[in-house]
Amino acid sequence: MAGSSSSIMDNLFQRTLDDLIKSMRLQLLNESTFISKSIEDIRREIKSTDPQTKSTALQKLTYLSAIHGVDMSWASFHVVEVMSSSLFSHKRIGYHAASISFHDSTPVLLLITNQLRKDLSSTNHFHASLALHCLSTIATLDLSRDLTPDLFNLLSSSRVFIRNKAIAVVLRVFDKYPDAVRVCFKRLVENLESSDPHVVTAVIGVFCELSSKDPRPYLQLAPEFHRILVNSKNNWILIKVLKIFARLAPLEPRLGKKIVEPICEHIRRSGAKSLVFECVRIVITSLSDHESAVKLAVSKIRELLVDQDPNLRYLGLHALSVAAPKHLWAVLENKDAVIKSLDDEDSNIKIESLRLLMAMVSESNVVEISRVLLNYALKSDPEFCNEILGSVLTTCGRNDYEIIVDFDWYVSLLGEMATIPHCQKDEEIENQLIDIGMRVKDARLQLVRVARDLLIDPALLGNVYLHRILCAAAWVAGEYVQLVRNPLELIDALVQPRTNLLPPSIRAVYINSVLKVLSFCLDCYLDQDEGTASSYCCNLAGEQSEMFLVKTHTEAPELVATTREGSNYEQDEGFNPRNTTIESSDDLSDENDTDRVVTLLSMKNFTHESVVSLLNRIELIFSSLTANQDVEVLERARNIFAFVQLVKAEIIDNSGQNVDKKYTQVSAVIKSIRDAFSMELGPVSISAQGRVAVPDGLVLNENLDDLKAICGDIELPSSSSFYTGGPQFGTASDASSSNLLKNDESGPSNESTSLLEHRKRHGLYYLASDKSETVPNDYPPANDPKANSNINDEADALAKLTEQSLLLKKRTNQMKPRPVVVKLDDGDAAPIPDKRPEPINDSLSGAIKDVLGSEANLSVSRSNPLDKSSTKRKGKKKLGTDLPSEMKENLGDAEKPDPENPNPSSKSKERRRRGKEKIVEGEEPEQRGKKKSSHRHGRHKTHQRANSPLNVVSQAPVIPDFLL
Amino acid sequence: MIRAVLVMNTQGKPRLAKFYEFLPVEKQQEIIRNVFAVLCSRPEHVSNFVDAESFFGPDARLVYKHLATLYFVFIFDGSENELAMLDLIQVFVETLDKCFRNVCELDVVFNYSKMHTILDEIIFGGQVLETSSTEVMKAVEEISKLDAASSAINLVPKSVSSWRSR
């Protein structure tokens, strides 16, 4: 009693959906509390026995779910209850709720099959429509299988309202239950001939979707599509047909010839921009061999580019960038419009235009285009600025700097990019700076200059986005220190106080560079003192401000270099595999030595005093660092500190008596350190690691597991390191030198394991496998007030751009031969995964191929061109004997699937006739082939083709010569 | 096909959300938020296309129209023509206009069910079936009639609710 009365009360005072929306709008309180209160009411009301109360509750719940994201999966059983109401208004609420909340794993789906069947066959077509709507979003394998016969009936419903919905549902049903193809496909194809445009729209829509997954099976329907393309006046249908042809045309070269004329006709005649655009798109993507059509399409694109409507301008640019790979001339022809678009207020348009501009870049204009783009980057918003920088970097870096002739220019450009205020492309610039250093010998001098300019500016250290670039600069300056104009100044830059703003991993690189520069200075000093001519001595005891010839080691990069690659900023002389190759490289150096002219202003300024003060200063600075928290920084600082103390003692001792050769001990140490740093690094093949043989008895994985166990609780900063393996290195530098020697003899196992670990920790200086990785922009944009000074004003940049950027001017520096860029024989880029999806040969395509009489198996199919006469003959044969057993189960005689495809040359009348004599194509292809032979003669032009099956295009299954 | 149709106001409140493939509600809300974040950052009088791959998977495009206080958003894939989708938004809005006589945001807010009926007549399971607003109106009117006829049986709560809402 209480139950029924409460249900009456519910019924009387239930809020409707309108009430709910109104009170929610009036609600001044928290929306979420209001929603949860409403859900409470709904939970109570939905259990009511009164169908009105229940359906209203469900309607409210559906609303809250769709608009406010409330979970309604708990109510799925109630949805089924409401669906089964006989009242249309309730049913509608139920079906709507089901279509938004049911999914493949909803358990109650099993309960609705009969309800759906009942509604599908209802005499009230609105009931059927509800069921179809619901099926179009929730159909599962089971539902599809069980309801296929009902759908089959609806496919020929006399009410267009129902028929086109049934057609559209077929798409989902085929997807879930491919066997439905055998039942429904024939009727689906028949509907292509309907005179009602609604029906045709629906069928073409279905074929368009089907062909997006695997277009091959539908080649046979091309004649039907062609007829629609020529005859239809409905733009929606035409667009969809064009979409289908765009997928079919690449598969069958003969198709292009047939469709190009009607398409051009549409381009010329149609007033509908959408249709024209679709025609243009198919011409530039799929019909690019048809020159006159392409010209027509490009002329249309030009119209779009100058249109008032930004949508059309955007699509025009988009079409151009689609055309760019095959028809660069189209882009060049429209370059003015493209350049103008770079200034558009619409970011879509700007980005498209940037893409096009990059497509136009070549060896001859890269300098101008980059210059102009950089000026644009300076005045753009941060996002577009980085978009520009990213494209310039990617384009210039492509294929080992393929388009770069003047590396001095490019290196300076990189430096300039680094100082652009919004630049966040630090990782890419870093990689390229190091990569160029290793690959392009001739660029090193300029590289060192650029690095010095970056390092010396204290303001740059405050910008997080510059840290990685500075890291590269520090490495470059240290590695190629013999090219540095003023090493003392460089040391000052590397130890300036603001370096404490750097993250420890980068600071460690700085410290290591200090060691390189310092050892170089000391070496020069000693050489000049002793007057010996070392191979990299730069001091010829000449006058100041003179040009000196400097011999630098320029060993040919070799793979051997990989063994020492890791040690480039490794301070631990204890293991330094680099020395293992010293001998061989010395031999090589004799052959490859080149003389380089370097302006050395201060090289010989290494007076005793300057060296002593340098040592004092370094000692002072690094003594404070020896208490640093970071292991890497700490250790490197200690090493330098100890080294300096050792060297200083002896140098000071011997002051004033430099005639004698008394630096023997020190110079031996310095020499070994110098030697350790002097061999040239080359690019490392990405597969190099794999070529290092793993010695017997060494299980790499095991070791690494241990590593995890040992330092699992220590949080390693991403690229800083923590020594767990390898000989720990004492602070005394004699120890280091002896260690060094010892290590030369140590076996390869030591090398390879430490290399592995090293690579793991310091991915930084190994060539990255993926250089184009973008940097997350979580940080506020960088701000460097200095760089703002060189912003050109907008008009200036634009004018400059239009004037000169694209002119193929002969530049003076083009006269200079392009320097050698070291490339590895096997390429060092990671193999790019093939992005093209494998042709999907799923069960759906299989079923459709079966039904269409096309060959199920491509390899067999190639030798069996389908021929109208043969299939016809087979059609007349008794059905079923050749059918695969599962097909027999599915097919009554009444439901013979699919039609052979109409012959192209046939007029529509003939086609209709043939449509009626549909036949089953279940035969094994071999059999078909045999039968065909006797019937081929003279009936078709195809027979010649069939006689020479081998010359068929390998990808496309052979299709009847319907269009020729 | 069309993957989703969204209508939201210029404050980012969703007014209609229809996804043609099942998505959990949290994901739906996330997409609505992402779409709004992109739309509200775009100035007036720029192109109506947005790259939707970042929040709707590969090959997804988005076209929107900003009318009065509402954004109408269609998300679709490579099987649809961009300009045709723009036209379709126009068809949808025209139909709403016919249905509600000068449609405004409030009509959209209070006619959740009718909005869906209209949309369902235009787009069926992600495919465009009807592009004439007159035809759509005919169907919608018939459905409304049927709806009213079937719920007229239950007079009491109907009258009570209308009384309450006054």
B3, closest residue in chain A (CA to CA): A137
Mean predicted confidence (pLDDT) in A515-522: 85
pLDDT value at residue A133: 93
**Contact predicate B93/B103, CB 8 Å:** yes
**Contact predicate A899/A186, CB 8 Å:** yes
- How many residues would you count in chain A? 964
Write out chain A residues lying below 8 Å of B3, CB-based: none
Domain locations in chain B? 2-165
Digit-coded pLDDT (tens) for A566-622: 334 333 333 334 333 333 333 433 333 333 334 344 454 677 788 888 888 888 888
Cα–Cα distance, A373 to A353 (Å, whole number) = 11
Percentage of residues in chain B with pLDDT exceeding 90? 57
- Shortest Cα distance, chain A CAs vs residue B147, angstroms: 5
Cα–Cα distance, B76 to A953 (Å, whole number) = 34
Digit-coded pLDDT (tens) for A450-481: 998 888 888 888 888 888 889 999 898 888 88
The dihedral region occupied by A726, where left means phi > 0, alpha psi between -120 and 50, and beta the remainder, is left
Cα–Cα distance, A395 to A772 (Å, whole number) = 11
Return the DSSP state at A718: S
**Contact predicate A112/A101, CB 8 Å:** no
Helices A426-439/A444-456 angle, 10° precision: 140
Q: Range with the lowest mean pLDDT among A17-21, A760-764, A810-814, B145-149?
A: A810-814
ipTM: 0.91
Write out chain B residues lying below 8 Å of A90, CB-based: 150
* Alpha helices (H) in A177-252, listed in sequence order: 180-190, 197-213, 222-231, 235-248
| φ/ψ of residue B72, rounded to 5 | -105, 125
User: Does the distance separating the beta carbons of B161 and A19 come in below 8 Å?
Assistant: yes
Residue A316 predicted with pLDDT over 60: yes
| pLDDT class of A536 with cuts at 50, 70, 90 | very low
- Shortest Cα distance, chain A CAs vs residue B140, angstroms: 11
What tokens does A947 get?
């006689």
Cα–Cα distance, B129 to A196 (Å, whole number) = 12
Residue A935 predicted with pLDDT over 90: no
User: Does the distance separating the beta carbons of A277 and B83 come in below 8 Å?
Assistant: yes
User: Does the distance separating the beta carbons of A274 and B83 come in below 8 Å?
Assistant: yes
Q: Highest-confidence range of A11-20, A97-106, A684-693, A779-788, by mean pLDDT?
A: A97-106
Q: Is A439 helix (H, G, I), strand (E, B) or coil?
A: helix
Percentage of residues in chain A with pLDDT exceeding 70? 63
CB-closest option in A65, A310, A345 to B25: A65
Helices A125-138/B133-151 angle, 10° precision: 110
What tokens does B157 get?
């709560």
Q: Which residue has the higher pLDDT, A224 or A788?
A: A224
Q: Which residue has the higher pLDDT, A236 or A708?
A: A236
**Contact predicate A48/A11, CB 8 Å:** yes
Cα–Cα distance, A762 to A145 (Å, whole number) = 57
What tokens does A281 get?
């798109």
Name the residue with tokens 């961009």. Answer: B82
Mean predicted confidence (pLDDT) in A103-129: 90
- Shortest Cα distance, chain A CAs vs residue B84, angstroms: 6
Say if residue A554 is exposed, middle or buried (CB neighbours under 10 Å; 0-12, 13-18, 19+).
middle
Q: Which residue has the higher pLDDT, A786 or A14?
A: A14
- Shortest Cα distance, chain B CAs vs residue A52, angstroms: 8
Q: What is the pTM of this model?
A: 0.67
Cα–Cα distance, A280 to A445 (Å, whole number) = 50
Q: Highest-confidence range of A675-679, A940-944, B4-8, by mean pLDDT?
A: B4-8
| pLDDT class of A129 with cuts at 50, 70, 90 | very high
- Shortest Cα distance, chain A CAs vs residue B117, angstroms: 10
pLDDT value at residue A174: 92
| pLDDT class of A927 with cuts at 50, 70, 90 | very low
Greatest pairwise CA separation for chain B in angstroms:
52
Q: Is A342 helix (H, G, I), strand (E, B) or coil?
A: coil
Cα–Cα distance, A361 to A365 (Å, whole number) = 6
Interface probe for B, chosen from A31, A194, A274 (most Cβ of B below 10 Å), is: A274
Q: Is A135 helix (H, G, I), strand (E, B) or coil?
A: helix
pLDDT value at residue A425: 85
> Comparing C-alpha atoms, which of A753, A755, A743 is closest to residue A579?
A743
What tokens does A833 get?
């995964």
| One-letter identity of residue A844 | L
Cα–Cα distance, B52 to A953 (Å, whole number) = 37
Mean predicted confidence (pLDDT) in A145-174: 91
Residue A1 predicted with pLDDT over 50: no
* Alpha helices (H) in A593-727, listed in sequence order: 608-625, 631-653, 664-678, 688-691, 700-711
Average pLDDT, chain A: 71
Cα–Cα distance, B76 to B60 (Å, whole number) = 6
Residue A204 predicted with pLDDT over 60: yes
pLDDT value at residue B154: 53
Cα–Cα distance, A875 to A899 (Å, whole number) = 9
Digit-coded pLDDT (tens) for A805-844: 444 443 444 455 677 777 765 544 444 444 444 444 567 7
Mean predicted confidence (pLDDT) in A697-711: 66
Return the DSSP state at A791: P
Cα–Cα distance, A228 to A200 (Å, whole number) = 9
Digit-coded pLDDT (tens) for A722-740: 433 333 333 333 333 344 3
CATH class of B2-165: alpha beta
Which stretches in chain B have pLDDT values below 50?
155-161, 165-166
Interface probe for B, chosen from A56, A58, A67, A104 (most Cβ of B below 10 Å), is: A67
> Comparing C-alpha atoms, which of B45, B37, B44 is closest to residue B62?
B37
pLDDT value at residue A704: 65
Cα–Cα distance, A276 to A948 (Å, whole number) = 39
Q: Highest-confidence range of A217-221, A625-629, A648-652, by mean pLDDT?
A: A217-221
Q: Count other C-beta atoms under 10 Å from residue A593's C-beta.
A: 14
Q: Which residue has the higher pLDDT, A780 or B160?
A: B160
A55, closest residue in chain B (CA to CA): B151
